[in-house]
Copies of this chain bind each other. A is one copy, B any other.
């Protein structure tokens, strides 16, 4: 679960670990990981990518769940609220959180070559941002930090 999305790795180690952690978190908090929600999380966990709500919806519909947008959006919103998924503003898309439970305000690294999305630890970034904001008297409540660029493999290949 602390892998390099950008490098070859046994991805089941990622997804299995996150699923277990998700179950534990939700059991603890009392929130319910219903079939739709679980399935959406599994779908997001299949790859280190961001998926649009309609892509998720299509998968759900093919598996016998509802096929109207709210079905996908509700599950996705739930996961985001529970800290199990993140919304990538830049892509109008969602990605599974790879470090659920850990307090984290990540920066997202979006590879323009292979569409991989990685969470980078961003404590220093947040600190710098809050400092810059404080200079203007502004109090940061939530922030999104998203970088487009090239992962090591795609940089190599280009």
Contacts and interface: CB of A to CB of B under 8 A. Distances in A.
A147 interface: yes
Interface class of chain A by DSSP: mixed
Interface stretch (A35-43, A54-62, A78-86, A148-156): A148-156
Interface string A107-149: 1010110000010111011011101110111111111111111
Contacts of A68: none
A73 interface: no
Contacts of A112: 141
A139 to B, nearest CB: 5
A118 B136 contact: yes
Contact of A142 (B6, B107, B136, B149): B149
A6 B138 contact: yes
B89 A144 contact: yes
Interface of A: 4, 6, 89-90, 107, 109, 111-112, 118, 120-122, 124-125, 127-129, 131-133, 135-152, 155
